[in-house]
Chain A
C-alpha cells in the first residue's frame, strides 16, 4: 500500500462516518465537562459520605454511620420538612406568573415599561431580595408591622417566629420566581394561535372556559419549563435563607442545602462525611424530579 492509498482510505473512513463523527466531536467538550464537573463529584460525594473526615487529617471509614446519624438527627428532619414546604409553596409561582402574564398581555401605551417593572425582581440579586424582605419584616421598624399596626393588628415577628419564618422566606422567594414564570408565559402567549382564539370566541367561549380549554393547552411547553425551573429553584434555595435568617431561629428555617453547607463548610462545621451524606440525600430527592423531567421530555420527543 502506498502513502497516497492510505491517505485516501483515511479520508473515506472519515467521509463514510461523518454522520457519527461530527456529533461526537460537538458533544465531546460538553460530555467531558459533564463528566468532570458533575458525574465525578457526585461519585466522590457518595464516597466521602462513608467516611468521617474533617478535611485535614486522614479520613476514617465509618460505613453507614453518617446515614444512621442522619436518621436520628432532628435538624435533618426539620430540613427535609422545610424542603417539602418549599417545593409545594414555590409552585404558587406558576399560577401567579400566569395571571400577571395574562394581565400584561395587552397593548396599552407603556406596556413595555410595566412588563420590565414586573420582571425587575428577577433581575436583582437574591441577596438584595433577602435584605429588602428582612427590612420589610423587621419587628420594630418594618413596613409590615407598620401596616398591620394601622389596621389594629398586633406586631408580628415573621422571621423570629419558628412557626412563620420559613413561610416568610418562601414569600420573599416567590417575588422573583413569579416574575420568572411571568416572562416564560409572556413568551408563550405570543405563540398562542389567534385563529384558534377567534374560533373559540365564535363558539361562545370566554373567561375561564376560554383560558382552561383554549389558552392553557397551547401554553403547555411554557408550563413545563416553568415547572422545571420552579422545582429546581425550590431545591436550590440557599441564599435567601442565609441572608434572612442564617438558618435560625434555632435552626427552624434550614433546608437540606443550607444544612449541608453548615455541616461541611460553615464556621463550626467541617464534618465533610456528614455533609456529603446530606448532599447525597438531597441528590436522591432531586433525582426523582430529574428522572420525571427526562422521562416526560423523552415522551414528548417520541410523540413529535
Chain B
C-alpha cells in the first residue's frame, strides 16, 4: 500500500517537474464546456486544456467547444441535465439567473486564497453576487474610442479631453464631409455602449449602476440629461446614416474607407481594422472624454469567465483548473497578441506589447477611479437590456420619440425588477 502511494506521488512529481510545481495529484476526468469557438479563442482554449492535461497525468481533460451563440441557449440545458466540471460564461448580472437557480458553485474559497485575492482584486466585484464569488475571470478588454489618427492629423485635430472638445472635433470633421462616428445598431447592443459612456460621464458610475439595477426610474431628470447630451451628437449628424441597417462589422468599412473618423468599440474591433489594412500609425485610441468634470472616470470592461456548475462531479480538479487559468503565467500566455489579444486579469502578469492593449491596461488600472462596468447588457437584467437597447436604437433614429421611449422603459422597469 505504502509503496503504491509513493510510486504515484513520485510519478506525479516527475510529471510536474517540467511544468510549474503541482503538488496535488488529481485523477478522473475533467469535462470542460467552452464557448470559445472563434478561431483564435478556440486555439487558446485547446492549448490551455492540453497544458493542464499534461500537468496532471492521472487526469483526463475532456474539452467540448460549442459555437458561441448556440452556447448561450445550450448552457441552460446542460447545466441542469448534464453539467460539466467547468463552463464558460460572463460576469455580473449575466450569471445571476444561474446563481439564483443554484446552478453555479460558490467559489469564494478560491478568492480567499492570497494568490487570487491579491492579484485579481480588480475584477472581484464583477464576479461577486450576494457577497460571494461564483467563478473566475480569464480575460477582459477595454472599451473606448478608436480613431483614424491620419484623418485627425489632416484636419489638425487632437484627442479630445472633454465633451466640448469632442463636439468641436466632430464639427470640423462634418464640415469636411466626414462623419464623426461609425456605428452599426442592427443588433442593438452597440447603442448600449454609447448609452453606458454618456450616462457614466453625465451622472457617474454609481448612478449608472443604480439605473441598471432598477433603483432609479427611467423618467428621472438625470436620465433625460444623458439623452440630451447624446442628442447633441445626433442632431449634429455625428453618426453614420442608416446605422440601424448594419451590424458592427458591416459598419467597419465606413471607418476603413475614411467616411467616418472614429468608432466607440471594444478592443476586439482592432483585429478586423488591422486586417482591413489600417496600420497602427493610422489608428489611435482615446478614453471617452469627460462630460461632468466633477465625476471620476468610469469604464466599460466586459469580463469573460469560468464557472464550476454545482452539479459538477470532479470539483477538486475543476478548482485546480480555475487556479491554473488565473495564474500569472497562463494569463500572460493566453492574453498575448498572438492568442486572445486582450487584457490579463492577473495583476502579476504581463500585458503584451501592443499599443492598444498597453493603452487600455494603463487606462483601466490608472485612469478609471470611478469604477469598472461590465457593459449594458451584462449589468442590466437580460429583459431590461433588450427593451432598453431597442429604445436606444429608436432614439438614435428618431430622437423626438424620447418621451415615448422613456415611458416604455419605465413601464418595463416596474414589471421586471
A157–B186 Cα distance when bound, in Å, is 13
Interface hub of B69, B72, B386 (most chain A Cβ within 10 A):
B386
A56–B394 Cα distance when bound, in Å, is 32
Chain A positions within 8 Å of B, measured between CB atoms, are 54-57, 69, 74, 138-140, 157, 159-160, 245-246, 248-251, 262, 265-271
B-side contacts of A271, CB under 8 Å: 383
> A160, B242: Cβ atoms under 8 Å?
yes
Q: Interface with A: B56-64, B93-101, B159-167, B352-360, which one? A: B93-101
Please give me the residue from chain A that is nearest to B392 by CB atom: A250
Query: Is B206 in the interface zone, CB < 8 Å from A?
Result: no
Known: A268-B385, A270-B76. A57 touches B242 (CB 8 A): no
Q: Which of A140, A248, A250, A268 contacts B242 (CB 8 A)?
A: A140
B-side contacts of A140, CB under 8 Å: 242
> A55, B76: Cβ atoms under 8 Å?
yes
20 interchain pairs, CB-CB under 8 A:
A54-B97, A54-B101, A56-B98, A56-B101, A56-B103, A74-B408, A157-B241, A157-B242, A157-B244, A160-B242, A245-B186, A246-B187, A248-B390, A249-B393, A249-B394, A250-B390, A250-B394, A267-B382, A268-B382, A270-B382
Q: Which of A56, A57, A138, A248 contacts B244 (CB 8 A)?
A: A248
Please give me the residue from chain A that is nearest to B380 by CB atom: A268
> B186, A250: Cβ atoms under 8 Å?
no
Q: Is the interface of B mostly helix, strand, loop or mixed?
A: helix
Query: Is B19 in the interface zone, CB < 8 Å from A?
Result: no
A46–B101 Cα distance when bound, in Å, is 24
B-side contacts of A55, CB under 8 Å: 76
> A56, B245: Cβ atoms under 8 Å?
no
> A160, B244: Cβ atoms under 8 Å?
yes
Interface hub of B186, B187, B408 (most chain A Cβ within 10 A):
B186
A57–B187 Cα distance when bound, in Å, is 29
B-side contacts of A249, CB under 8 Å: 244-245, 393-394, 397
Query: Is B391 in the interface zone, CB < 8 Å from A?
Result: yes
A-side contacts of B188, CB under 8 Å: 248
> A250, B408: Cβ atoms under 8 Å?
no
A80–B303 Cα distance when bound, in Å, is 39
B-side contacts of A265, CB under 8 Å: 73
Contacts A160-B244, A249-B244 known; list 14 others, CB within 8 Å.
A56-B76, A56-B80, A56-B101, A74-B408, A139-B241, A248-B186, A248-B244, A249-B393, A249-B397, A250-B393, A251-B390, A268-B382, A269-B386, A271-B383
B-side contacts of A160, CB under 8 Å: 242, 244-245, 397
In the complex, how many angstroms separate the beta carbon of A248 from the nearest chain B beta carbon?
A: 6
B-side contacts of A266, CB under 8 Å: 386
A265–B74 Cα distance when bound, in Å, is 10
A-side contacts of B391, CB under 8 Å: 250
Please give me the residue from chain B that is nearest to A139 by CB atom: B242
Interface hub of B69, B103, B382 (most chain A Cβ within 10 A):
B382
- What are the 4 closest A-B residue pairs judged by CB atoms, nearest first? A268-B386, A250-B394, A56-B101, A268-B382
A270–B381 Cα distance when bound, in Å, is 12
